[in-house]
Amino acid sequence: MMRLPMLAAAALVATPLVITAALSPAPSAAEDGYVTPAPFMTLYRQFPNSQGPDAIGRQLAEAMEKAGALAADGPLVLVTGDGVFAYDGASGELIAGADFREATNSGFFELTGLSHVGPAISYLAKMKELGDPRWRDRLDDLLAALRDVQALNRHGGGAWLDALAQPAWAPFRRQIAAMVDYGTWMAGSYLQAVKAEDGADFTLARVESDFLSAGSDRYPIPFNNVMVGTFALVGLEGAHTVHTALADAEIDWGSAMVVIHMGIGTNFGAGLTTGTNSMVELLRQISGYALPEDRIFITPYADLRDSVGADALAAADLDYYKTTVWYALYSQPVIAGEVFRNITSIYQPPRPALPGDYAVTAPDQIEPFLMRLKFALSNPTELLSSTVSFWMGPALFHAGWDPAATPVPGLTTGFPEGIDGYPTGNPDF
């Protein structure tokens, strides 16, 4: 999983909660006492793969495998909310992995905290418009936090970056320190002015014109650039970390069985398709496109077994992911194509290109990434990381996996005309 900035908490809407469970039919008593007769249940259980080793569906898949019509056994690659783990498909031994959950030195919190400042100020303005007096206390809290980060970042000229020692960011150390200094100063200065006037002109419209999109003598670079730059750096780090962990491992990508089970925060309905989950394309790029897309499955309803992430998968867990999850999904379309060959197939096009995709957005364009951010926040099927992940992963790939050769929108490019970087020597606020 790539840890990318999460700019907003899930909104709770006061509507009735309806939960629909898709379960295998089982005999049950209706109010009148009716129970599905045993002969019907016996008939039902003859076919579905899920009904065990004697089911016709399961045995046909096994027969096709023996005949060489299905996939040969290969490594098992599991992608979870904790990381990416490649296991030997026969022994269950770990081949390679990147454990994100324990990677507290990734820099995620440092830059995500700064990226949050833009929407946080907009949220405060909306609170004021609604007449909620708590905006003043939260503004003071935000000001105090900004001062502390500004002071820490200035200590040793950004010494925290040296302590972090994030390889993907090493080429940009000076620019990152300057961006953090400018971003904290700009936000702190703006909030001080709001406080001095007791919010007289503190509206969403003024936040947009005077802060987020500002381009003035006082604020030469809009805060939107800071938001995109922090997003892009975290996206770069995530893609670089996955590549570093997997690229040199002995993984037969052509026969890999990939299961993506990414539970990310409260984004329960997001990233469930190849068009909304950039990890699919990232893994294919890391494989040099030796990994076929039809061997990758996104499985939100699969179990997350306890041994995932360990040095070896438990035998039962290995069998579960290979047979019950991956193999059942892989064999289904192959069998359908063979058995129902006289029925016309339906083909669906991929999702259309969107602003923020590598193929349609140039690195010096900031607005498309903001559009993609709003799109991600407005659609429950979208991961917020998609704001930059469909750009930064491909950009790193096309740069030969070299961070130093990878453009970073909002950090190394995308500035107003005549400006080529964040100013240094910003005053206190």
Q: Which residue, 308, 339, 370, sits at the end of a domain?
A: 339
Section 195-223 average pLDDT:
95
Residues 112 and 235 in one domain: yes
Same domain, 229 and 370: yes
Burial (CB < 10 A; 0-12, 13-18, 19+), residue 15, is exposed
Same domain? 302 vs 271: yes
Does pLDDT of 251 surpass 80? yes
Whether residues 121 and 232 share a domain: the answer is yes
Continuous H helices in 130-222: 134-154, 159-164, 173-196, 204-207
Asked if residue 344 belongs to a domain, the reply is no
Q: pLDDT over 70 for what percent of the chain?
A: 90
Asked if residues 99 and 83 have their Cβ atoms less than 8 Å apart, the reply is yes
Q: 334 vs 227, which has greater pLDDT?
A: 227
Are residues 360 and 353 in contact, defined by beta-carbon separation less than 8 angstroms?
yes
- What is the domain extent for residue 330? 64-103+247-339
Q: 82: burial class by Cβ within 10 Å (0-12, 13-18, 19+)? A: buried
**What is d(CA 121, CA 105) in angstroms, rounded to the nearest whole number?**
27
Question: pLDDT class for 71, splitting at 50, 70, 90?
Answer: low
Q: What distance in Å separates the CA atoms of residue 207 and residue 203, rounded to the nearest whole number?
A: 6
Instruction: Return all residues near 344 (Cβ < 8 A) that are at least 6 apart.
Output: none
Same domain, yes or no, for 235 and 155? yes
Q: How far apart are CA 68 and CA 52, in angstroms?
A: 22
Residues 360, 318, single domain; the answer is no
Please list, residue by residue across 286-323, b when 16 or more beta carbons sit within 10 angstroms of its beta carbon and e when fewer do.
Answer: bbeeebeeebbbbbeebeebeebbeeebeeebbebbbe
Asked whether residue 331 is assigned to any structural domain, the reply reads yes
DSSP code of residue 359: T
Number of domains making up the chain: 2
Radius of gyration (C-alpha) of the chain in whole angstroms: 26
Domain end (from 339, 368, 393): 339
Kindly state the helix (H) or strand (E) to which residue 79 belongs, with its residue range.
strand 76-80
> Is residue 212 predicted with pLDDT exceeding 60?
yes
On whether both 233 and 303 belong to a single domain, the answer is no
- pLDDT of residue 362 exceeding 60, the answer is yes
Please state the rounded mean pLDDT for residues 178-202: 97
Q: Share the mean pLDDT of the chain.
A: 90
SS3 247: coil
Token digits for 80?
A: 């979870």
Query: Do 73 and 140 reside in the same domain of the chain?
Result: no
Same domain? 141 vs 176: yes
> Is 261 inside any structural domain?
yes
pTM of the model as a whole: 0.88
pLDDT of residue 287: 97
196-207: pLDDT as tens digits: 999 999 999 999
Within-domain flag for 371: yes
Is the pLDDT at 117 greater than 70, yes or no? yes
Write phi, then psi, for 264 (nearest 5 degrees): -115, 105
User: Given a cut of 50, is residue 415 above it in pLDDT?
Assistant: yes
Q: Is 119 exposed, middle or buried (0-12, 13-18, 19+ CB in 10 A)?
A: middle
| Nearest one of 211, 178, 231, 223 to 421, comparing CA atoms | 178
In a domain, 84, yes or no: yes
- 252 and 281 belong to one structural domain: yes
192 plus 273 within the same structural domain: no
Count CA atoms within 13 Å of residue 331 on its CB side: 25
Asked if residue 426 belongs to a domain, the reply is no
